[in-house]
Structures are given as structure tokens and as C-alpha cells.
Amino acid sequence: MIAIHENYIVDEDGKKKAVVVSMGEWEKVLDALDELDAIRAYDEAKSQSSEPIPFEQAVREIQEGKPS
């Protein structure tokens, strides 16, 4: 888990309106979100049934911008 040392911006009633974190912590959050997106994409791809294709064909289709 990422250790976050947040500071809150509050309105005149003391209600939290925004959060301020250091740039280092923010970059860790972005990295974690990026990793989570990759995991979700992997899980989605694994859940779809499809026929395997040769590696060379997959690389060629990626380079040409075609979905397999």
C-alpha cells in the first residue's frame, strides 16, 4: 500500500474540498493506477475466448495497427 501524507483544503464550514499530496506521493499514485489498468486489461483479455495466433503474426498486426 502507498503511504500518503495528505493535507486537506477545507471550505469556510470546515468541509474537505480538495487534497494536496507531495509530487513524489502523487507519482506513486499514478504508477499504481497505471499498474491497475494493466491488470484490468490483462484480466479482460484472459476472460475473452479467442484462438491463439503465432507470435510473429501478433507483432505484425500490432505494428500495422490492426486488432487480432
Helix, strand or coil, per DSSP, at residue 41? helix
How do residues 22-50 score in pLDDT, each as one tens digit?
999 999 999 999 999 999 999 998 898 77
Provide the pLDDT for residue 65.
84
C-beta separation of 6 from 21 below 8 A: yes
% of the chain exceeding 90 in pLDDT: 68
Provide the pLDDT for residue 1.
79
Across the chain, mean pLDDT equals 91
Provide the pLDDT for residue 67.
61
- pLDDT tier, 10 (very low <50, low <70, confident <90, very high otherwise): very high
In sequence order, the 6+-apart residues with CB closer than 8 A to the CB of 18 are: 8, 9
